[in-house]
Structure 1
């Protein structure tokens, strides 16, 4: 005789809820009840209840995820199938051009009807996007996003009015990728010491960076000392110079405004930083130095034409991939020159305030943040995924996060240097106040004018200050003071500024 298991009150309630819920086509009723029989009605309701409820609000439950177009998009489309199988929720990935991320997202966020439920963005857009985003804590728990595993500096990004409106899905910071066949060659080491009077090694300050770049610049051999971006992302490379120079002088590095939002750009530190930035461009290919794009800069390093690259972490990931890099077995990482860890870039993901499926959007973000998915995303080859690690678990288990580079030992080298940078007592968090896109656009314009010789460093910085003042007035000075003070206090309270 078969003994029927007595249902608990919770299971009875859950079964009644599952029997009456409108699945909106996300999952068949037969499959829903099968799962209830196998896993228990209460557990099944816990898994699907919120998603199915959100489906009722959104007219179908599909989660629309907006992403800038790039090599990682096919990976996420593969994940969409697994996400549907795991949760019963459909995910549709929609893309927009990388260069139009700001305009596309801001337009979508301001519409009455959401184009995206969840979307990716750069952290420095948080000040502009924040009013149109849903704080993640209003939908779910940061613990559900495995937030504590995220490296501390990356946890401190994407904050608007004291609440997290985004969580990182890509972690970039400046790191030095250098050629061991050049820097560790005995003849090169002897020649360098004879010329400069100290040992050849990965540079630790600007003078060493400049000297090593000059030493390895050999146009007749199609070899150059360094590569930096001098076009669209020029602001990040100039900020790196500005931050490191300010720290070397014992100042609050990278403090772009005073307490009243008056720009702090026409001074000895900023002029020296821009002069230095202009100077190092002479150690790049002359036909590209005045307008070096980020993708071309990576490519010439992969081709073996560059000795070192103080660049975002996508550089070593690609340079270590033998399918696209001629120097895959000839590189190491070291901390970027200067004593500050600079974090001007990376991608975050947040939830649009105009979304009608916030719970589904949160679940999609949480699913991507789980270690198994996140590690796979980063572990893909450079041609498949441009994503870089942002979780400490990724650095603590480099062989699984970077299987392609594990055998050579490069994975361990990259992870070790990255952990050192992320634990640095000095870090720079990029500003993310309202109008940041306009401030940075001005920086791009006028730094380029200085690089191309259309203006002196001081003239370029004066023009930048004037633009900064206009932007501050446009966005309301009192409002800007409040937002910038929150940023300043974040830098101070975390010990990055004294």
Structure 2
């Protein structure tokens, strides 16, 4: 079940990952019990396995594998064995260490964990049918530590984290934050450096078969700042382009489109195609919008950079190596004008829509196209939002791009995300136990059950996720096939920098002013450039430039489009060829 087509190689030099882990071995290589004990002692893991074998309470799910090692995990449903794991796995080590810490008085009776409010059900509701335990109940059974969530609105996580820092509030053991937040929270000392725990316990983040899609590149992007791990990501907010196949494949619509635009109606490969299709299907009298990508404050911060990044081959950067903004020129102006023109094909209330309005509209069949978080179909299909049996009309396609010198350049985009870090103001003796929960919950065998669970919205991010039958059933097979390819060459929002949110906010504010026609596209770009330069000067140009150069090198794509990252078989599977 965890077979992977052409797994991405794991790059060298990933912070605190060992050489063995970077080569795809390390902790995930089967070891004998004596080898594990020896290795544990070498890493200050002590006699963990000898002292901390889970109690008989979990005996039903502790079967012996062929190697003689105990297997932990769920039972009672089809395929349960695929989500079980041995003691020398990433989740196994985390559970055993947490149990040992509890016995030593170095873990609380209850961990208080920050989490996005809409994701709580994925951790507290057993899934799938037949599984009697939730992810949290399984953690408690093996460790003796309960888990209590502190839910927070995703739009408020950064402010809440800053408040924790200002008041030195140690009540939460872990803090949830977004991709752009890590640099500032690490610089402010609000989240703890996890290096010693990562080195000791060995998460699967960069493992070629079990880790994040994209391997070490993605692990660096999501969990590291300035070369050190500060978080554990449990989300996958890559954007998925969705389109009404019943409209695109209609002979009647095709004939009318050809007569109007002079070429065949087909799935859009470029943003110019998108513009024409959006205009063609904008029919207010039929309650049909052309396209509903988000444009509102915060939620619409993908609108500009997603388009902008595909205006150079292989990729267009936001800054040069010295942090001089690159957006105020022909490429940036092209994007701003495209946004302004296509605003006419979106909802009249687009500047106030968040994902809920977007999803509601899609479930009602109210738009021809959109792009959204991967869970759009998960949230709409066969739910109260589904008014038209949307799964029969919808399909996912590769994100469009631009023709640059005759070649298609197209990249997906990653923003928001749900990342958890250890609260530095919580009791320090509990820090490692808090990290153990994060390693457990983000491990492949555990996380696939979390993300497949329809009780919440945290999305797939593991190599194994895209071929997992429960994940594919929940999200849709086509969605997973598209995301599997797109993640490899995606570009991130401004992140990994001190002041990242300032840069994003400046872009967001002036994009809003431009879309509401308070200022022109040219004025918007001038204002963004000015604000970015002020932020860079305030923080220190060389400090920010150093972080930016590191992120470009480690986390940005080096190939021009999705096809360059896909096998022929993967492209053929999508059903419409290479972009």
User: What band does the TM-score fall into relative to the shorter chain?
Assistant: 0.7 to 0.9
Match of 1:400 among 450, 470, 494: 470
> Are 1:242 and 1:274, in contact at CA under 8 Å, matched by a contact in 2?
no
Match of 2:397 among 334, 347, 361: 334
Aligned equivalents of 2:485 and 2:242: distance in 1? 15
**CA deviation after TM superposition for structure 1 residue 165, in Å:** 1.9
Aligned equivalents of 1:86 and 1:267: distance in 2? 57
**CA deviation after TM superposition for structure 1 residue 342, in Å:** 1.7
Aligned equivalents of 2:94 and 2:482: distance in 1? 41
Change (3 A) 1:178 1:45: closer
Greater CA radius of gyration, 1 or 2? Answer: 1
**CA deviation after TM superposition for structure 1 residue 319, in Å:** 3.9
> Are 1:89 and 1:360, in contact at CA under 8 Å, matched by a contact in 2?
no
> Are 2:101 and 2:433, in contact at CA under 8 Å, matched by a contact in 1?
no
Instruction: Output the TM-score relative to the length of structure 1.
Output: 0.83
Match of 1:77 among 105, 124, 140: 124
**Alignment match, 1:358:** 431
**CA deviation after TM superposition for structure 1 residue 278, in Å:** 1.1
Whether 1:294 aligns to 2:355 is yes
**CA deviation after TM superposition for structure 1 residue 385, in Å:** 1.0
Match of 2:192 among 99, 111, 134: 134
Aligned equivalents of 1:465 and 1:297: distance in 2? 30
Aligned equivalents of 2:512 and 2:560: distance in 1? 29
Change (3 A) 1:55 1:449: farther
Aligned equivalents of 1:237 and 1:86: distance in 2? 44
Match of 1:454 among 518, 521, 524: 518
> Are 1:68 and 1:97, in contact at CA under 8 Å, matched by a contact in 2?
yes
**CA deviation after TM superposition for structure 1 residue 56, in Å:** 5.3
Change (3 A) 1:140 1:265: closer
Aligned equivalents of 1:418 and 1:117: distance in 2? 32
Superposed counterparts of 1:374-453, under 5 Å: 374-381=447-454, 384-397=455-468, 399-404=469-474, 411-424=476-489, 427-432=490-495, 433-453=497-517
Q: CA RMSD in A?
A: 3.3
**CA deviation after TM superposition for structure 1 residue 395, in Å:** 0.5
> Are 2:114 and 2:172, in contact at CA under 8 Å, matched by a contact in 1?
yes
Whether 1:60 aligns to 2:108 is yes
**Alignment match, 1:120:** 176
**Alignment match, 2:552:** 488
> Are 2:95 and 2:142, in contact at CA under 8 Å, matched by a contact in 1?
no
**Alignment match, 2:564:** none
Listed one character per residue, the Cα deviations across residues 341-398 of structure 1 (whole Å, up to 9, x for unaligned) are 22223222222333421221122112212334322222222xx21121101211123x
> Are 2:113 and 2:173, in contact at CA under 8 Å, matched by a contact in 1?
yes
Change (3 A) 1:54 1:465: farther
Whether 1:317 aligns to 2:378 is yes
**What 5-or-longer segments of structure 2 have no aligned partner?**
1-33, 38-46, 71-86, 126-134, 402-409, 562-579
Aligned equivalents of 2:328 and 2:154: distance in 1? 32
Aligned equivalents of 1:183 and 1:349: distance in 2? 41
**Alignment match, 1:261:** 323
**CA deviation after TM superposition for structure 1 residue 139, in Å:** 0.7
> Are 2:290 and 2:345, in contact at CA under 8 Å, matched by a contact in 1?
yes
**Alignment match, 2:281:** 216
**CA deviation after TM superposition for structure 1 residue 164, in Å:** 2.6
Match of 2:212 among 147, 150, 174: 150
**Alignment match, 1:368:** 441
Aligned equivalents of 1:45 and 1:168: distance in 2? 18
Instruction: Output the TM-score relative to the length of structure 2.
Output: 0.72
Listed one character per residue, the Cα deviations across residues 261-311 of structure 1 (whole Å, up to 9, x for unaligned) are 22223211111101101111100232x134332321221111111011122
Aligned equivalents of 1:49 and 1:342: distance in 2? 36
Superposed counterparts of 1:87-106, under 5 Å: 87-106=143-162
**Alignment match, 2:301:** 235
**CA deviation after TM superposition for structure 1 residue 150, in Å:** 1.0
- Larger fraction in helix: 1
Match of 1:185 among 250, 261, 269: 250
Change (3 A) 1:168 1:111: same
Change (3 A) 1:83 1:468: same
Change (3 A) 1:129 1:228: same
Change (3 A) 1:65 1:55: farther
**Alignment match, 2:266:** 201
Listed one character per residue, the Cα deviations across residues 185-221 of structure 1 (whole Å, up to 9, x for unaligned) are 1211221122222222221101100011011100111
Q: Which stretch has the larger CA shift, 447-456 or 324-333?
A: 324-333
Aligned equivalents of 1:252 and 1:331: distance in 2? 29
SS at match of 1:92: strand
